[in-house]
Structure formats: structure tokens, C-alpha cells
Structure 1
Amino acid sequence: MAPNLNSVKNLFVFLGKSVFALLEVMVFTFIPRPQKSVAGEIVLITGSGSGLGRLLALKFARLGSVLVLWDVSKEGNEETSKMAWEAGATKVYTYTCDCSRKEEVYRVADQVKKEVGDVSILINNAGIVTGKKFLDCPDELMEKSIDVNFKAHLWTYKAFLPAMIANDHGHLVCISSSAGLIGVNGLADYCATKFAAFGFAESVFMETFAKKQNGVKTTIVCPFFINTGMFDGCTTGRTRNC
């Protein structure tokens, strides 16, 4: 009898929270939340050497954040740094890092902690697209996609989340994709990695929520097509690029 009562209780709790969440969404649709100040926050952006990562760096530069830029391309990252200074950044630190390599992530993370301080906003943005059908994609390319698009999130969280918890202050940002919500023809490996990144970020959020580590926030972003050149040459079975 007790298990059945618990099940009923859990159902009502779930329904109550669902109704509250729906009402909250409706309220904040008409009454926007105040914007979060990121001035002075140490913001680490992976994949900052081009595309969305560069755009994020420029935005945070204008908002007064301390920028920590990671990219596998030293030249691209230095160009982003230059643009960030021109956009009004006050502090910019650049690091060459291949996020697909766990040991390299941990090594560069330790360097950041010593030279800059505790990262308070972590943006896992680095990503690659093979643009090949599943059976046409070599194993090594699929493994690289998994390492960059998903596994890198594990290593960066391991490196920077403990300090956020200790400081009761931090923000984890996962750049997933609309392809992390629904399968797309011609993007099997990419979709798999973005589904994984979404699920991982959501699960860690649930862990921090359950432990009442309320100072650590989570944001999961699922963009549609962004014209940054990342998907050039990739087709979904239609005539246009995906």
C-alpha cells in the first residue's frame, strides 16, 4: 500500500511542479527577467577561434567580462582576441587547446586557474561537423566528432565545476543544437553528439539541483542553422545546405 501512496504523491508533486513551471513561463513571457550582469566574470569559451565562439567572445567583451579563449587554431584565436580588444575588452587570455584530448584539457585548465583564476562562466561551444552519411563516414572522423562535440564537455566540467560549487557561484553553458533534439538526415554522428551533450548538461543540472547547489546555473542552447560556414558542404537530402 505504501509504495502505491508514494507513487500517487510523486505524481501530484510532478503535476504541481509542471503547472508552476507553465505559469512561470507565461508570466515571464510578458514580464521579462532582469538581465544578468556578466561584468568582471571570468568567461571561458571553447572554439573561440571562429564562428559562433568568436561572436560570443565579442559579445562578452562588450559586456565587460574577462575573456578566456580556447581554440585548436592559434591564428584564429589570436584574431578573435584582437577583435575582442577592439570591441572594448579589458582582459583577454588566449590558449591553444585541442578539446578532444582529455590530458590537454586538464593541463590547460590548470594553467588558466594559475594565470587567470576560477572560471565562473563556462561555455562549451567547440564543435565539428563531418558532413558525411553514416556509412560513408570513416570511424576516425566519427570518433573525433564525439571527442570534440561531447567528451570535451565532460573534461571541462570536471576541471571547472568543483570551484563553482565551492564558491557557490558559476554558470555552465552548453551549446547543443536543434539537431540535439531531433534526428537529421546526413548528420547521424553530429546529432548523436548533440543529443549526448544536451542530456549530459541536463543531468548535471539535476545533480546540482538535488544537492541544492543553487549558486551554479545551467543554460542549454539549441540553435537552428547559423550561417558561420560550419555546415558548408553538408546536405540533408534537399538542395540547400543544412
Structure 2
Amino acid sequence: MYVILEIIQTLCYLFYCIAEATVRVFVPEKKKSFAGKLVLVTGAGHGIGRELALHFSDIGARLVLWDINKQNVENVVQEIQENGGTATSYICDVSKIEEIKSVADKVRREVGDVDVLVNNAGILHGASFLTLTDAEIKRTIDINLLAYFWTCRQFLPSMINRNSGHIVNIASMAAKKGVAYLTDYAASKCAVQGFTEALSDEMRREGYDGIFFTTVFPMFVDTGMTKFSHDRLSKMLSPAEVASAAVEGVQRNKKGVYIPSNLDWSVRIGNLLPRRFIDDPTDLMYRGIDPQK
């Protein structure tokens, strides 16, 4: 009897979720305010990180910017300040856990608790699997994945104490479909997706409903990391396009942000297509890169 009641309850919940999702297509969730919120962006000295910092500043957030390049990140701070915003920079190599811990301590002492953590710093080698060096593979995992663990372990506890916060992890469409010459990169981004989903579910199970998680899945972005891309169906994205879509998605508490947005439906439809068509696509359908070294 109890099983039957649970089945009925589950079906009712399913219909409710379908109805809610349908309504959200036409009436998006209201944007939440970031005025005065403290947003930390890693890899903020150039590319997507720089644009994320500028976009968050435009909606009233205070910025803490991390980068390994001192001159670049200070230039972004100056740009934000000249536009009337508030920003502070810190030099941090996110491939080193002890450096993350040390810089995080400084942020807490000098600026305060972080409201929004944006894990953006990343690296891409774009080489065939057997030509990648051991050091290159390790560095990809250290920066693209493990750094996300270490920063979350530093800033999540204060979010838990307040039951308030937002963690934004920049992944890639390579997390959805691995392609040649991106073995280390795709592995790291797939892991970012799994890590974010698991941590989000953990917070939900433990009752912290005020902490939100967003994973961002952009296609190829013109940041200089991807030099020889193949994509005949869409143009290479600009960092500003990615940042704009990502920030809007965060404002609406979206769990996943696909850029361009039609990729969301492409992924859903792709799951219904024959396996051979996905694994051995035509030249028109293929999205990937040529070796970069």
C-alpha cells in the first residue's frame, strides 16, 4: 500500500515539475539582485574571467579577482574602478592548494565572506593523447578540476553558516561530448559537471536551500586557448557573450547554462539519436579541434 502511495506521489510531483518547466519557458524566473554582494572570480585577468568581472560589477556586485598574472588582473581592477565599481585583486596560482588556502585567508581577513564563487580559471593544451606530457595532464587536472574542489572547500563553509551563496563552475560543451585532442580537457570538464551536481545534491539533502549552483557549458570561445576549431554550425563565441549569458543564468538560479542557448536542446535531442551518428558524425555535424602542438 505504501509503495502505491509513493508511486502516486511521485507521478503527481512529475506532472507538477513538467508544468513548472513549461511555465518557465514563457515566464523566466525573476532575476535576483547582486547589489553589494561579494563575488570572487578566478582567472579574472583576461578572457571570460575579465568579462565575468565586468558584468558582475555592472549589476552592483563587489569583486575579488584572482589571477596568476599581476598586471592583467590589476588592469581589470582599474577598469572596474574607473567605471564606478569596487574591486580588489589577488595573485594566486590555483594549481597550488596551499596558495589557494593562503590567499583565501587573506580575502576573508581583508574583504570578508564571499557570497558568490566563480571558478573560471582554466587551461587547454589541445594535443594528441600520446604527445601530452605527464606534467601537462597533471596541470590540466590541477587547474580545471582540483582547484574547484579547493576553492569550494575554502568558501562553502561560510555559505553554509549563512545558508546563502552561489557557486558558479565554468565547464565546457566538452563535458557533454569528448572529441579528439581534448582528452585531458574533456575529462576535467566532465568531472566539473559531476562535482557540481553531486555537491549541489549534497547541500539539498542537508537542508541548505539558500545555496545555489550553476554550471556553465560554452562552446568554443575566442580566448586564445582554442586556435583550430571545427564548427560549421555556429561561430566562435566572444568572452563577452559567454559572460553575459552566464551572469543572467546565475541571476535566474539556473543549474545549467548552455552557450549558445540552443545547445541545451541539441544535447537533449542528441541523446535520442543513433549512437553511430553521434560517434561518427558527418563533416557538417562535427565540432572539435585540430592539434595545437
Indicate whether 1:25 and 2:21 are aligned.
Answer: yes
Indicate whether 1:182 and 2:144 are aligned.
Answer: no
CA distance in 1, matches of 2:191, 2:173: 13
Indicate whether 1:221 and 2:216 are aligned.
Answer: yes
CA distance in 2, matches of 1:13, 1:183: 38
How much identity, in percent, do the aligned residues show? 39
Judged with a 3 Å threshold, the aligned counterparts in structure 2 of structure 1 residues 183 and 17 are, in CA distance, closer, same or farther, namely: farther
Indicate whether 1:193 and 2:185 are aligned.
Answer: no
Where structure 1 has 5 or more consecutive residues not aligned to the other structure, the ranges are: none
| Equivalent residue number for residue 76 of structure 2 | 80
CA distance in 1, matches of 2:289, 2:82: 33
- Per-residue CA shift, 1:131-189, capped at 9, x if unaligned? 11111111100100000000001100100000001011100111111111111121111
Matched letter for residue 51 of structure 1: G
CA distance in 2, matches of 1:182, 1:240: 10
Corresponding residue to 2:114 among 94, 115, 119: 119
Matches within 5 A, 1:112-151: 112-151=107-146
CA distance in 2, matches of 1:205, 1:182: 22
Stretch moving more, 232-241 or 212-221:
232-241
Whether the aligned pair in 2 keeps the contact of 1:132 and 1:234 (CA below 8 Å) is no
Matched letter for residue 198 of structure 2: S
- SS of the residue corresponding to residue 94 of structure 2 reads coil
Where structure 2 has 5 or more consecutive residues not aligned to the other structure, the ranges are: 232-282
1:76 to partner: Cα distance: 1.2
CA distance in 2, matches of 1:72, 1:215: 31
Between 1 and 2, higher relative CO (CA 8 Å, sep ≥ 6) is seen in: 2
1:87 to partner: Cα distance: 3.2
Indicate whether 1:98 and 2:93 are aligned.
Answer: yes
Structure-1-length-normalised TM-score: 0.90
RMSD: 2.3
Judged with a 3 Å threshold, the aligned counterparts in structure 2 of structure 1 residues 210 and 239 are, in CA distance, closer, same or farther, namely: closer
Structure-2-length-normalised TM-score: 0.75
Judged with a 3 Å threshold, the aligned counterparts in structure 2 of structure 1 residues 239 and 76 are, in CA distance, closer, same or farther, namely: same
CA distance in 2, matches of 1:88, 1:147: 35
CA distance in 2, matches of 1:108, 1:129: 24
* Number of aligned residue pairs: 237
- SS of the residue corresponding to residue 229 of structure 1 reads coil
CA distance in 2, matches of 1:117, 1:232: 39
| Equivalent residue number for residue 254 of structure 2 | none
Judged with a 3 Å threshold, the aligned counterparts in structure 2 of structure 1 residues 9 and 158 are, in CA distance, closer, same or farther, namely: farther
1:14 to partner: Cα distance: 5.3
CA distance in 2, matches of 1:149, 1:14: 37
Whether the aligned pair in 2 keeps the contact of 1:53 and 1:126 (CA below 8 Å) is yes
| Equivalent residue number for residue 58 of structure 2 | 62
Matches within 5 A, 1:19-58: 19-58=15-54
Judged with a 3 Å threshold, the aligned counterparts in structure 2 of structure 1 residues 209 and 140 are, in CA distance, closer, same or farther, namely: same
Matched letter for residue 116 of structure 1: V
CA distance in 2, matches of 1:148, 1:14: 40
| Equivalent residue number for residue 165 of structure 1 | 160
- Per-residue CA shift, 1:21-56, capped at 9, x if unaligned? 332221111012111110100000001011000000
Whether the aligned pair in 1 keeps the contact of 2:117 and 2:166 (CA below 8 Å) is yes
Indicate whether 1:205 and 2:221 are aligned.
Answer: no
